[in-house]
């Protein structure tokens, strides 16, 4: 579905009910947002929605794991935690407490491309929310110390153990990433980082990372909800204008990786059922073919009537589940298909069926009704998500970051409405050639007969460490 759901101005409830029955009947979706930039470079996006007496603030720092250096991974995600530990004028523990008093629950997330902090709260608390966000942007270092960094370092390490190292299938994405990208590519390491890098990070390195990337000229904030536009502008200026501009951020550039021959890998894990992962390099976010690949993923696995779900789960009953997605990022994208085998069946069986279906969609364009179903499903989900001001705020930031236009809503929808069956088939041919794929089988320990044939075992010791540390320990 579209990476960002649209903001509706005005007749939200009407449009949310009047879902178009075909692309030709689709109504135009417009957004009215006021965007301005403070002298220090901070971009502010304002959108008024009085559906509920709530406001959402959403700030994107244009820094993710891809901005780290080889040998110094995990910094972006580490700061996602540190930013909740208090700043010069916000004591430790008060961010959660103060937002809870106004009905809010602050949160954050980190990806390869960006880090964001978001919260929704009562419409009478905007002044407080902007004070908190500005204080940790401008004066976090006044409260940060080696001890506080060490504390959050331990929290992140524990998160890595729980979510990656000790979780069934948890290391699959890391193994795929390391196989797909050369070791110096900005997308070649996991967002959470490696244990040895987290342990070795000096306090001075952490401070330098913050000073480089957590500056107003490397951020944007969206303020959405029951606001007065003029008052919101005044408050944003009041709290953020005094933060000094940072040095220009080093540009990030890297060519998409070139996969010239298929890699088949097998990873032993503490799992009961084997799972197959197929991954290709794909278009970057909002680039040509991005929407076509997104639609293809839905055509293959989007619902119980989709092609792969019908064949693998219903007809042949050799898989418990199957899902596909197009993940567009700033430098390139990744297209992935995942399927869990049913007991008594192998991943080789599933692999053969997936490749048959990919060959079919590459050879024969999907039927018009299939594509229309996908487009309509996307648009329905699109409209349903518009009811939350938090989602709207994130969309505005995403569009600004990837397209340069926070009001890109209608243009994004049109990418899908303009798709043709032939365009989807052509995109599949361009991007999903078997020889360009990474094929990973995750199997119960020692059960390599369940993997795709001719798979090379991945050493599964010390995967929490960086590849360089693993080589040194070998």
Instruction: Clarify whether residues 275 and 342 are in a common domain.
Output: yes
CA atoms within 13 A on the CB side of 194: 23
**Does the residue 24 lie in any domain?**
no
> Is pLDDT above 90 for 200?
yes
> Is pLDDT above 60 for 18?
no
**Does the residue 16 lie in any domain?**
no
As a whole-number percent, the residues of the chain with pLDDT over 90 amount to 88
Instruction: Clarify whether residues 296 and 436 are in a common domain.
Output: yes
> Is pLDDT above 80 for 357?
yes
Q: Taking the mean position of all CA atoms in its chain, how far away is CA 122?
A: 27
**Does the residue 20 lie in any domain?**
no
**Does the residue 169 lie in any domain?**
yes
Q: Model-level pTM?
A: 0.93
> Is pLDDT above 70 for 7?
no
Q: What domain count does the chain have?
A: 2
> Is pLDDT above 90 for 264?
yes
CATH number, residue 157? 3.30.830.10
pLDDT tier, 21 (very low <50, low <70, confident <90, very high otherwise): very low
Last residue of a domain, one of 225, 240, 255: 240
Secondary structure (3-state) at 125: coil
Instruction: Clarify whether residues 234 and 307 are in a common domain.
Output: no
**Does the residue 161 lie in any domain?**
yes
Instruction: Clarify whether residues 422 and 374 are in a common domain.
Output: yes
Tokens 């018009």 belong to residue: 368
**Does the residue 436 lie in any domain?**
yes
The b/e string for 320-343 (b: 16+ C-beta within 10 A; e otherwise) is: eebbbbbbbbbbbbbbbbbbbbbe
Instruction: Clarify whether residues 306 and 213 are in a common domain.
Output: no
Instruction: Clarify whether residues 356 and 455 are in a common domain.
Output: yes
Instruction: Clarify whether residues 209 and 117 are in a common domain.
Output: yes
For residue 227, give its domain range.
Answer: 31-240
Instruction: Clarify whether residues 45 and 163 are in a common domain.
Output: yes
Instruction: Clarify whether residues 358 and 448 are in a common domain.
Output: yes
Instruction: Clarify whether residues 126 and 80 are in a common domain.
Output: yes
Convert the pLDDT of each residue in 80-128 to its tens digit.
999 999 999 999 999 999 999 999 999 999 999 999 999 999 999 999 9
> Is pLDDT above 80 for 134?
yes
289: alpha, beta or left? (left if phi > 0; alpha if psi -120 to 50):
left
Instruction: Clarify whether residues 269 and 322 are in a common domain.
Output: yes
Tokens 């301005």 belong to residue: 36
Residue 334: name the closest of 215, 225, 187 by CA. 187
**Does the residue 258 lie in any domain?**
no
The b/e string for 30-46 (b: 16+ C-beta within 10 A; e otherwise) is: ebebebeebebbbbbbb
**Bridge partners of residue 45, in order along the sequence:** 35, 222
- Helix (H), strand (E) at residue 240: helix 229-240
Sign of the CA dihedral 148, 149, 155, 158?
negative
Instruction: Clarify whether residues 219 and 276 are in a common domain.
Output: no
- Write down the mean pLDDT value for the chain: 93
**Does the residue 439 lie in any domain?**
yes
> Is pLDDT above 70 for 429?
yes
Last residue of a domain, one of 209, 240, 271: 240
pLDDT tier, 474 (very low <50, low <70, confident <90, very high otherwise): low
Residue 57: name the closest of 225, 216, 241, 213 by CA. 225
Residues in the chain: 474
């Amino acid at each position: 579905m579209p990476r960002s759901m649209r903001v509706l101005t005005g007749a939200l409830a009407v449009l949310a009910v009047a879902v178009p029955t075909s692309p030709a009947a689709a109504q135009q979706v417009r957004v009215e947002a006021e965007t301005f930039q403070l002298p220090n470079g901070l971009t502010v996006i304002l959108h008024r929605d009085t559906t509920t007496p709530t406001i959402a603030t959403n700030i994107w720092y244009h820094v993710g794991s891809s901005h780290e250096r080889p040998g110094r991974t995990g910094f972006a995600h580490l700061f996602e935690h540190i930013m909740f530990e208090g700043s010069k004028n916000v004591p430790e523990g008060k961010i959660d407490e103060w937002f809870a008093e106004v009905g809010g629950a602050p949160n954050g997330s980190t990806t390869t491309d960006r880090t964001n902090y978001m919260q929704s709260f009562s419409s009478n608390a905007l002044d407080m929310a902007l004070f908190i966000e500005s204080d940790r942007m401008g004066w976090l270092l006044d409260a940060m110390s080696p001890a506080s960094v060490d504390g959050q370092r331990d929290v992140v390490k524990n998160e890595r153990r729980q979510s990656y190292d000790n979780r069934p299938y948890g290391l699959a994405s890391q193994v795929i990433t390391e196989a797909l990208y050369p070791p110096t590519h900005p997308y070649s390491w996991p967002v959470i980082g490696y244990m040895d890098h987290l342990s070795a990070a000096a306090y001075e390195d952490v401070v330098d990372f913050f000073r480089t990337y957590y500056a107003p000229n490397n951020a944007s904030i969206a303020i959405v909800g029951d606001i007065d536009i003029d008052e919101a502008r005044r408050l944003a200026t009041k709290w953020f204008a005094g933060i000094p501009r940072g040095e220009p951020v080093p540009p990030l550039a890297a060519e998409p990786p070139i996969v010239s021959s298929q890699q088949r890998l097998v990873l032993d894990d503490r799992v009961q059922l084997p799972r197959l992962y197929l991954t290709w390099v794909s278009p970057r976010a909002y680039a040509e073919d991005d929407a076509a690949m997104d639609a293809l993923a839905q055509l293959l696995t989007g619902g119980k009537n989709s092609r792969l779900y019908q064949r693998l789960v219903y007809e042949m009953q050799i898989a418990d589940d199957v899902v596909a997605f197009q993940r567009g990022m700033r430098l390139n994208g990744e297209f992935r298909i995942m399927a869990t085998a049913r007991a008594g069946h192998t991943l080789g069986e599933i692999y053969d069926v997936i490749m048959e279906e990919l060959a079919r969609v590459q050879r024969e364009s999907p039927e018009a009704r299939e594509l229309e179903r996908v487009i309509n499903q996307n648009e329905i989900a699109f409209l349903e998500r518009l009811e939350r001001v938090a989602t709207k705020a994130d969309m505005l930031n995403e569009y600004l970051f990837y397209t340069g236009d926070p009001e890109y809503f209608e243009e994004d929808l049109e990418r899908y409405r303009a798709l043709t069956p032939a365009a989807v088939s052509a995109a599949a041919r361009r991007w999903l050639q078997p020889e360009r794929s990474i094929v990973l089988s995750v199997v119960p320990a020692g059960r390599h007969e369940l993997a795709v044939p001719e798979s090379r075992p991945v050493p599964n010791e010390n995967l929490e460490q960086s590849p360089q540390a693993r080589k040194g320990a070998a």
